Amino acid sequence: MPSLSPDKKRERRATPKLIIRAEKQHIISKTRFFKSKQGIQNQTIQGITLMGLDWEQRYQSLDTPWDKGEPTPGLLEFLSNHPLSGKILVVGCGYGHDVRTLSQQGCQVVGVDFAPSAITAAQSFPSISDETYLIADIFNLPKELDSSFDYVWEHTCFCAIAPEQRPNYVESVARVLKRSGKLLAIFFVNPPNQGNGPPYGVKVNELDELFAPHFTLLEDWQPTQAHPGWEGRERMRLLQKNN
């Protein structure tokens, strides 16, 4: 990606600080919320798979190491030079840090997640603008979402699903995008864990093969901004849905 001008760099430093400060101020109340829900009973929700219920248990026990309490650095870096507009779906949104970041840009954003507790916590953050949340299985998204979105944003969802489910993931993302809609994504090509996932890594040639039936690759690069310990392990891509 092209380097940022000095003005853009100052803009990038200023805007994320406002978001990150608000996110971190909410962390204490979020933790208190979950501790007050220790006795919560598992919910039966139509369309949620066994995998979704496993993630629900992780959120209930606060075992969420993938959540860093702030927006994805690679997304902030991209948005500082490439503002987005339109309707955006955030898959595996978790606590909604990226949902609120995109909403601050004036986008209409929908965050979806398997885990009811993740969505409840995301909704407990102060609303930024036109963001909404939905408990849903990404492999069985509501039909009313078909062909609805200009963009899908992906980070830490693709790497969390079993590799054999990846073709279904690609089909689900393609289904909800409008004609010529785009997928903006960060993929783990070299995840921090060296054993069994999640997160599950993926090779660049595997990404090419997986997405080729439904998408055309527009750009591919390594983000220069990442969470500590994730530097150099990610690949960022912009893909366009084939018509």
pLDDT for 66: 84
Residues 6 or more apart whose Cβ sits within 8 Å of residue 117: 34, 37, 40, 56, 59, 60
What would the DSSP string read from start to end of 78-96? HHHHS---SEEEEET-TT-
Cα–Cα dist 26/8, whole Å = 28
Cα–Cα dist 97/84, whole Å = 16
Q: Please provide the size of the chain in residues.
A: 243
Cα–Cα dist 161/203, whole Å = 15
pLDDT for 130: 83
- Measured CA to CA in angstroms, residue 31 lies from 23, 61, 156 at distances of 12, 10, 21
Which residue ranges form the domains of the chain, and what is each CATH number? 6-241 (3.40.50.150)
pLDDT for 22: 47
pLDDT in tens, the chain (243 residues): 544 444 444 333 334 444 444 454 444 344 434 433 433 333 333 334 434 447 888 888 888 888 888 999 999 999 999 999 999 999 999 999 999 999 999 999 999 998 999 999 999 999 999 899 999 999 999 999 999 999 999 998 999 998 999 999 999 999 999 999 999 999 988 876 655 778 889 999 999 999 999 999 999 999 999 898 888 889 999 999 998
